Amino acid sequence: MELDALKQTWAEYDRKLDTSIRLNRQLLLAVNINRVRWPLRRFTLGLGLGALIGLIGPAILGQFIYLHRAEPRLALPAAALDIWVIAMVVASIRQMAMALRIDYDKPLTAIQKQIESLRVLRVRIVQWAVLTGQVVWWIPLLIVALKGFWNVDAYKVPGVNFLAVNLAFGLAIIPLSVWVSRRFGDRIGRVPMVGELMRGLAGYSLQSAADRLAAIAEFEKETLES
């Protein structure tokens, strides 16, 4: 089979396609009217929500840090939470801004590189958020919440031993989560979202994004062979 000979067949088939396919007029109109607005609304909503969390979270935590500035054992866990929240908001906004900048009418290799870079960023954010989040959102949150809401000193009740054991356990979970994702990711990750998370934690998503970036670079590379 010769590609050039098939070009002719393809052209004839193309002409026939005109009569054998029909565009759904209603859907064509709906695209113009409705669908374009929804992603923009979703983006604005996401941005608004992010900004709200980004303002309220650090404001509450900032006040807590200020009130307990002389007690590092209380101020430091609040600062850890504060940094986590701010970093997440900044990362999310950056991600959304990058996504909005994707302009599909630019050359394929440029856009695909942009998309893969965004994917790398997203995978890193998820990895970082899950692995550090399960430490920050347990013991530091417990210390801050007990003090802030009920004026209970977590270092007395439930006690330093409890805090230390749980903190150590939380830290140990980080390499354990990566190991579990690599070892059992295929079995427990059949649900698409769980699978994506498992692949992200295991580092596979980063690897495949890197592979795709390499494939694009290879495609762009000029070779002398003909």
Partner 1 sequence: MTRPDLQETFQKLVEEHKRILYKVSNAYCKDRDSRDDLAQEILFQLWRSFDRFDGSSRFSTWMYRVALNVAISFYRSESTRTRHVISDEQRLLETADESQSQPEDVRLLYRFIELLDPLNKALILLYLDQNSYQEIAAALGITETNVATKINRLKTRMRREFSGTRQA
Q: Footprint of partner 1 on this chain (CB under 8 A)? A: 1-4, 6-7, 9-14, 16-18, 20-24, 27-29, 31-32, 35-36, 103-112, 115, 192-193, 195-196, 212, 215-216, 219-226
Length of the chain in residues, anyone?
A: 226
How far is the C-alpha of 216 from the C-alpha of 182, rounded, in Å? 26
Give whichever of 2 and 151 is closer to partner 1, judged by the CB atom: 2
How far is the C-alpha of 96 from the C-alpha of 98, rounded, in Å? 5
Torsion of CA 66, 68, 73, 74, to 10 degrees: -80
Give whichever of 36 and 160 is closer to partner 1, judged by the CB atom: 36
Q: What are the residues whose beta carbons fall under 8 Å from the beta carbon of 93, sequence distance 6 or more?
A: 47, 50, 51, 54
Q: Considering the complex, what minimum distance in angstroms separates the CB of residue 200 from partner 1? A: 11
- 114 burial class (0-12, 13-18, 19+ CB within 10 angstroms)? middle
The single residue listed with the structure tokens 């909503």 is 45
- 107 burial class (0-12, 13-18, 19+ CB within 10 angstroms)? exposed
Q: Considering the complex, what minimum distance in angstroms separates the CB of residue 214 from partner 1? A: 12
Give whichever of 136 and 209 is closer to partner 1, judged by the CB atom: 209
- Compute φ and ψ for 102, nearest 5 degrees: -70, 120
Q: Considering the complex, what minimum distance in angstroms separates the CB of residue 163 from partner 1? A: 38
Give whichever of 104 and 150 is closer to partner 1, judged by the CB atom: 104
Q: Considering the complex, what minimum distance in angstroms separates the CB of residue 207 from partner 1? A: 14
Give whichever of 151 and 223 is closer to partner 1, judged by the CB atom: 223
Q: Considering the complex, what minimum distance in angstroms separates the CB of residue 30 from partner 1? A: 9
Q: Considering the complex, what minimum distance in angstroms separates the CB of residue 96 from partner 1? A: 16
Q: Which amino acid appears at position 25 of this protein?
A: R
Give whichever of 21 and 70 is closer to partner 1, judged by the CB atom: 21
